[in-house]
Amino acid sequence: MAVALDYRTNSDTKPPMDFGVRIRLSVMMFLQFAVWGSFWTVLNVYCDKTLHFSKLQIGSIYSTMALGAILSTMFAGQLADRLMSSEYLMAIFHLLGAAFLFAMAKFTDFQAVYWSALGFALVYNPTLAISNSLAFANIPDATRDFPTLRVLGTIGWIAAGVAVDYVLGTGAEASNKPVLMGAVLSLVLGLFSFALPHTPPSGKKGDAIPFIRAFGLLKDFSFGVFFLVSFAITIALAFYYTFTNNFLTDLHISNGASVQALGQVSEIFFMLALPFALKRFGMKGVLIVGMAAWAVRYGCFSTAHAWIGLVFIGIALHGVCFDFFLAAGFIHTDNKAPAAIRGSAQALFSFLTYGVGMYIGNLIAGYVAQKFTLPGGATDWPHVWAVPAIGAAVCLVIFVVLWRDRQGKVEDAEAPALPVQAAAASPTDPGDVGQTAI
Which tens digit of pLDDT belongs to each residue from 281-326?
888 899 999 999 999 999 999 999 888 999 999 999 988 998 898 8
Question: Quick one: average pLDDT of 380-401?
Answer: 93
CB atoms within 10 A of CB 430: 11
Judge whether 157 lies within some domain: yes
Judge whether 430 lies within some domain: no
How far lies 389's CA from each of 23, 225, 303, 356, 400, in Å?
Answer: 39, 20, 11, 19, 17
The domain spanning residue 289 has which CATH number?
1.20.1250.20
Residue 411, pLDDT score: 56
The angle, 0 to 180 degrees and rounded to 10, between the axes of the packed helices 110-137 and 328-336 is 50
Query: Where in the sequence is the domain holding 234, given as residue range(s)?
Result: 19-424
Residue 418, pLDDT score: 35
Judge whether 431 lies within some domain: no
Which tens digit of pLDDT belongs to each residue from 208-234?
455 566 677 777 787 888 888 888 888
CA gap 341, 337 in Å, rounded:
7
Rounded to a whole number, what is the distance in angstroms from the first to the last CA of the chain?
Answer: 16
Helices assigned H by DSSP within 372-435: 381-402, 419-424
CA gap 141, 260 in Å, rounded:
31
Judge whether 156 lies within some domain: yes
Judge whether 415 lies within some domain: yes
Residue 323, pLDDT score: 86
Q: Three-state DSSP class for 26?
A: helix
Q: What proportion of the chain, given as a percentage, has pLDDT over 90? A: 31
CA gap 336, 330 in Å, rounded:
10
List 153's β-bridge partners, or say none: none
Question: Quick one: average pLDDT of 249-270?
Answer: 82
Which tens digit of pLDDT belongs to each residue from 83-136?
788 899 999 999 999 999 999 999 999 999 999 999 999 999 888 878 888 898
CB atoms within 10 A of CB 230: 22
Question: Quick one: average pLDDT of 134-158?
Answer: 86
406 band by pLDDT with thresholds 50, 70 and 90: low
Judge whether 285 lies within some domain: yes
The yes-or-no verdict on residue 206 having pLDDT over 50 is no
Judge whether 10 lies within some domain: no
Domain count, the chain: 1
Residue 263, pLDDT score: 84
CA gap 120, 375 in Å, rounded:
35
Which tens digit of pLDDT belongs to each residue from 407-438?
556 654 444 343 333 333 333 332 232 322 22
CA gap 63, 46 in Å, rounded:
16
**Mean pLDDT rounded to a whole number for the chain:** 81
By the 8 A CB rule, do 41 and 249 touch?
no
Q: Which residue has the higher pLDDT, 397 or 408?
A: 397
CB atoms within 10 A of CB 336: 22
The yes-or-no verdict on residue 188 having pLDDT over 90 is yes
Judge whether 39 lies within some domain: yes
Question: Quick one: average pLDDT of 347-356?
Answer: 78
DSSP string spanning 326-386? IIHHHHHHHHHS-GGGHHHHHHHHHIIIIIIIHHHHHHHHHHHHHHTB-TTS-B-HHHHHH
CA gap 190, 192 in Å, rounded:
6
The yes-or-no verdict on residue 190 having pLDDT over 90 is yes
Question: Quick one: average pLDDT of 144-160?
Answer: 87
381 band by pLDDT with thresholds 50, 70 and 90: very high
Residue 422, pLDDT score: 34
Residue 98, pLDDT score: 97
Residue 146, pLDDT score: 84
186 band by pLDDT with thresholds 50, 70 and 90: very high
